[in-house]
Structure 1
C-alpha cells in the first residue's frame, strides 16, 4: 500500500503547469544484477490526470534504493554506509579514494550508482573499524595529496587512532567473550550481538536519563531487551545477561562501557567512601539508528525507571521471575522475559 509522504507544488509534466502534487512511497520489486530485490520507490501523483510520474532526480534516488537493497541482500555496504565511513575521516570522495589507492571517482560511483565488488567492500570495512590501517593507507598513497592536506589528514587520523584503537581492541575482547553465542538462541534473544546497537542504546539512556549510574544502566539495558523480546519475540541488542547480586548485567559489561566511550563520559563520584560511576552523554544520540518500535520500547523503559535510583531498580528487578528463576552467575534466558511485570 502506498504511503503519502507530503503534498508539494510542482511543475506537472502532464498538465505543463505548476499545481499541487502528491508524493507517495510504496514497496516495489526490481531486478538488480539478475537478482530480485524489494525496495521503497518514491513517485509523484497528479490528481488532475490521475496518473503518477517520476522526476529524473527521484528516479536516480529510486535506482540507488534498489541497488542498496541488493547490497544489503548480499552483505555489502550501502551507499549511505560508505558515505558515513568517508565522513568519519573528514574526507571528500576523491580524497577517500586516493587514500585507498583507487581512482579519483571510485568512491563517487559507489555513493551514487555503482555497486562495489567484495574486495573493495572489504577494504572500506577494514578502515571503518581500524583507523591505524587508514593511516597506513594514507602513508602508502601520500603522493596523491599536497603536503599541507596530507599533514592535516594525517593529524586527524592520528587522533582517531588514539580513541578508536581502544574501541577496536575492546570489540575484539567482547567478541571473544561472546564466542559461545555466535548462534541465535534464547540466551541472546535470538539475535546476534550488535555492538553498534548497544552503543546507541547506552547513548540514548545517557542523553535522556535525568540521573544515570553504571548499575542503573545495566538494568535499563536488560529491561529494554526484555520488553522488546516480550513484544516482538527477539532481543534488541543481542546482549547476553548474567544474574549477579545487583541484578542482570551483560557479559563483558566493563569492556562494553569502554567500547561506548566515544558516546559517553564516565565520571567517578564518591558516596560514603564508595565509588559510583556516573554516565554522561558525550554526543547527541542518533535516533535514526533505531526503528520506531525500538524507540517506543526505550522510552517506555526510561519513563518507568528514570526516577528510580540504582538500588531501587535493583530491588525492583529482584522481584522479577527472570531473576528468581536463575541461579547466581547463570545466564538469564530471554524466554523468562515474557514473564516480566507489565509497565
Structure 2
C-alpha cells in the first residue's frame, strides 16, 4: 500500500520517507529529549506534517515526562487509596473535579498544578490532614463522617509504624521551603538542639516556645532564611511551633528532654522542660548561634507571662488568625532587640 500525504512545498500529495531524529521538546517547563519519527517528501525532500506521527510524538513526550517528572496512573491511584477515600470526597479535599481524579487514575496526564498536589501527597502523606482542615466545609455531612473515620484510621496506622523522629518531621515538612517555614528545609537536628540550648538549665514550656519563635524569626529577618525550618502557629498565649504538644511528647519519648509538671502559688499548672542530652553548638553556623544567644540574653529575666505579652505586640501574631500558621514574611516587622 502506497502512503501519501500533502506536501506544503509541492502543493500536492506525494509519498514520503520516515526517518528518526533526536529533538529537544519543552514540555511543562521541562526539557524532554526524544527520538521522534518524522516524514520527508520523496519528491522535494521537504518536511511533511503527518498527523499520526505528530500525535505519536506528543504521546511519547507526555510518557517520558511522566516517567521522569510525573506519576504513573497506578501511583496516582495509590495516593488516594492509601487513605481509603472515595473519588468524590478525595476530589473535594483537593479542590479538584471528581471527573479529573477518575481521568488521572485511568491514565490521563494530570494538569501541572494537580500533579504537584499528587506528588506532594505521595512524598508527604500527612498533608492530607491540612487539605481536610482547609476544605472539609465542601463535604456533605455523610461524607464528613466517612472521611473523618478513614483519616482517623489512617493516622493511627501511620503512627504505629513511624519512629518518633519521623512523626516530628512529618509535622513540619509539609511547609518546607515556603514562607511558613522560612524558605528552609526542616532540620530535625537543629530543631532538637535549639530546644536543648534553651532548656539546658530548665525552661518553662510557654517561654521555650517564644524563644524558638524569636530565634527563627529574627534570623529570618536578617538572613531571609530560618534556622530550623519549623512552622509556627498563633495561639492565645503567643506563637508556638506547629503541633508542639505532639513534638514535645515524642522528644520526651526519645529521652531528649524531661517534662516536669509543677503548680505555682496561684494554682496554675506549669510545664518545665529540661534537656536530657548535651547541646551541640557545631550544628549551627556562627550567625545562627549568635542569634540564639542574643534571644536568650534579651529574654533572660522574662517569665512566661511577660514574654507572651511581649510577643502579643508583634505584627505577625496580631494579624494572623487564631490557630493558623504565621508567615515568616512578618519577620520584617519584628522588633529589634535593644
Q: TM-score, normalised by structure 1?
A: 0.48
Q: TM-score, normalised by structure 2?
A: 0.49
